[in-house]
A and B are shown apart, each in its own frame.
Chain A
Amino acid sequence: MKNITQLALNEKGIIKGFTNSDLSVKLMEMGCLPGVEVSLQLIAPFGDPLAIEVCGYQLSLRKEEASSILIEE
């Protein structure tokens, strides 16, 4: 299963689902909903955290959290 961390910089993807239900509640509040387009925008030095663009704004999250967001292949 592909997740957000496997996207290349500036690559787009469509959210398919989540692997962690507690975290998904918070992520969905922030606009990361199944079916929504995201793109990987920034990778911090040392590879973590990341910033994605979703719902027209930038959201930063840790690699571990980002890996819980699954992307349609």
Chain B
Amino acid sequence: MAKNFDLKIALVGNPNSGKTTLFNLLTGLNQRTGNFPGVTVDKKSGKMKLPDGRLAELIDLPGTYSIYPKTLDEQVVQDVLLNPKHPQHPDAVIVVADASNLKRNLLFFTQIRDLNLPCVLALNMIDVADRRKLQINLRSLTIDLGVKILPTNSRSGAGIELLKQALTEELPRPKKAFYPVRPLAEQTIDHIKEGFDLSEDYRAYQYAQQNKRLSFLSDLEKEEIEQIKKKNGFYDVPTQSQETIGRYALISDIIDRNIKTAIEGSSSLSKKIDQITTHKVFGYLIFALILLVIFQAIFAWAEWPMNLIENTMAELTAVTKSLLPQGVFNDLITDGVLAGLAGVVVFIPQIALLFGFIALLEESGYMSRAVFLMDRVMRSFGLNGKSVVPMVSGMACAIPAIMATRNIENWKDRLITIFVTPFMSCSARLPVYTLLIALVVPKVDVFGFINLQGLVLAALYLLGILAALVSAWVLKIILKTDLKGYFIMELPSYKVPKLKNVGLTIYEKSLTFVVEAGKVIIAISILLWVLASYGAGEDFENAEAIVTQKMADGSMGEDYEVALSAYKLEHSFAGTFGKFIEPAIRPLGYDWKIGIALITSFAAREVFVGTISTIYSIGASEDDELTIKERLSEEKNPWTGGKMYTPALGYSLMVFYAFAMQCMSTLAVVYRETKGWKWPIIQTIYMSAFAYLAAWLTYTLFS
């Protein structure tokens, strides 16, 4: 794919500089999301046709304030720009700068420029600058900065064509560095330039500053640089301070010369809105209200598209079943693969809605206010204001939520957030809750107007939040680190969100979810299908004969099929295992049948419902909740002879599902994000133990 492009162009810039909007304008809908090689940072790239007919690959690098990375995402920017052999190393760079906030934005630009990469400066949000009555002298600014400058307005699209045009022309490489770093560390720079065959001072200087962080250097090379630094007395922090001060001094001069301001300071409307959104009463009220609207949307609006998807998948399965020849392969495709796929795609509406809301909040600038508002509260639990976003997302699905922890700079805060996010009640728990609530909670009103079933559902969500906070607090005490995190964050001015950006985010995140979670869920579904369809021993081998014998009336119709599949499941590997663990789950009130469901739903919680309906031989044709509910309420307890699904068992199961890990995809994501099996394993053990104890307590209390 990469070979089809004539050149590679990277888009870099500060966060909130309108970089993503500009990317969307430059590429249109020709985008794809992938991973940067070796790291899990999402790589967004797109096709861009230049006016001279050449096809460029435009790579949207994560937003960063400087070449010195603070987060994993920012590390990628450095890797791509500093390593000429990186597969994404660009032929040209577009630096996006917020024209209304130019001083800070130019710092990163001057660093890029001094790496001597061919670059253009896109002076974005020129409309905001106009509104703030900033008069920018473009001609003289161009001379001062030594690169082409293109004013753009990513909201209206003005200036985009000129920017593309500029990329077709040869981009001048400035002869002199903007800020000469040589006086800061002459010998170090010379030694590194010589040893690593580099031509730019700043590149060599970066090798010295960041030798430990540059992923493309070997350990030997890192050590070599360390020795050069030691010999010449190069200290990272003081030198970097000098560099930053020096760059800003030059930038300040240039700004003073070329920009005339009528009004000082950031937008006054934004300030007025902040007075309300960060108010000690209204601030929290607004935040609570927004969360409420989001949940309402996720549960109410997502219902019909989810039903639509469910029905379509059911039809697809039925059609496939009838088209393919009868046999094992047919069963594998329909009951294994398609069943797994259905389990993934059914969540798309909820995930899409949630990401839509999160994108809206981020685009508008509100999200950073929520972070600001929540930081103090979250910190008492060992979390961070920035944990708010992943934890809220966790209510839709833990997978994208855990991926969203990447912008938490502090590793300890990030780890705790990853650890506790799966406690948030995700949408996969809903089918389990819905079934069990319908089964054991009476449909009555409390205080005359609150629906008891709804109340129980709300309580389960609250339990999840509480478990997350308590666990975070415990971890905060256990985990010791000297690393101090900081919380230095821009509060961008409020903006009217661009719907195209929101739409693209929804598309992109939903796709990531389907692909990432889908892979695991389908694989596990196939494995579970094998475990549930095959068994060892005579009972399984002779299932047909035994069931035929049992069916007194000798009927061979649907009743026979249903009885046969239930009998087979009982004697399959999964069934054998369910019986094996029965003693362990007995204290929670569960029998081996529920044991099977616990095992199969380890792949994903919602599998519980499907497994239960198979175990209790609910015919596929009547596979709707009402019949499952009816069948379950008739089930007899093997030990007492009374009702099996008593309120005590129902609540115990609900509590178990509220707390237990029961999600392979989450485990896979935690493995990826923490780079090892240590944390996913600890997390699974902890959550399972937590769930077991809580379920036992619930069962004991209610029976």
Q: Do A and B come from one complex?
A: yes
Query: What is A's interface to B at a CB cutoff of 8 Å?
Result: 21-31, 33-34, 41-42, 44-49, 51, 53, 55-62, 65
Bound-complex Cα distance A60 to B377 (A): 16
Contacts of B372 in A (CB 8 A): 42, 44, 49, 51, 60
What 5 pairs between A and B have smallest CB-CB spacing?
A: A45-B280, A58-B491, A46-B376, A28-B244, A31-B104
Question: Is the beta-carbon distance between A44 and B376 smaller than 8 angstroms?
Answer: yes
- Chain A, residue nearest B485 (CB): A62
Query: What is B's interface to A at a CB cutoff of 8 Å?
Result: 65-66, 68, 70, 100-101, 103-104, 107, 237-238, 240-241, 244-245, 248, 264-266, 270-271, 274, 278-280, 283-284, 368, 372-373, 375-377, 385, 486-493
Question: Is the beta-carbon distance between B375 and A25 smaller than 8 angstroms?
Answer: no
Among A41, A45, A47, A65, contact of B373 (Cβ-Cβ < 8 Å): A45
Question: Is the beta-carbon distance between A55 and B237 smaller than 8 angstroms?
Answer: no
Question: Is the beta-carbon distance between B488 and A57 smaller than 8 angstroms?
Answer: no
Q: How far is the CB of B554 from chain A (nearest CB, A)?
A: 74
Among B104, B274, B280, B373, contact of A57 (Cβ-Cβ < 8 Å): B104
Q: How far is the CB of A59 from chain B (nearest CB, A)?
A: 6
Bound-complex Cα distance A28 to B237 (A): 12
A59-B488 contact given A26-B70, A31-B248, CB 8 Å threshold: yes
Question: Is the beta-carbon distance between B237 and A30 smaller than 8 angstroms?
Answer: no
A25-B241 contact given A49-B385, A56-B101, CB 8 Å threshold: yes
Bound-complex Cα distance A58 to B371 (A): 14
Question: Is the beta-carbon distance between B103 and A55 smaller than 8 angstroms?
Answer: yes
Q: How far is the CB of B65 from chain A (nearest CB, A)?
A: 5
Q: How far is the CB of A48 from chain B (nearest CB, A)?
A: 5
Bound-complex Cα distance A2 to B402 (A): 40
A53-B265 contact given A46-B376, A58-B491, A60-B491, CB 8 Å threshold: yes
Among B237, B244, B279, contact of A29 (Cβ-Cβ < 8 Å): B244
- Chain B, residue nearest A21 (CB): B237
Question: Is the beta-carbon distance between B278 and A56 smaller than 8 angstroms?
Answer: no
Contacts of A33 in B (CB 8 A): 244-245, 248
Q: How far is the CB of B665 from chain A (nearest CB, A)?
A: 34
Bound-complex Cα distance A51 to B265 (A): 14
Question: Is the beta-carbon distance between B237 and A62 smaller than 8 angstroms?
Answer: no
Bound-complex Cα distance A55 to B368 (A): 19
Q: How far is the CB of B423 from chain A (nearest CB, A)?
A: 24
B101, B280, B376: residue with the most chain A Cβ atoms closer than 10 Å: B376
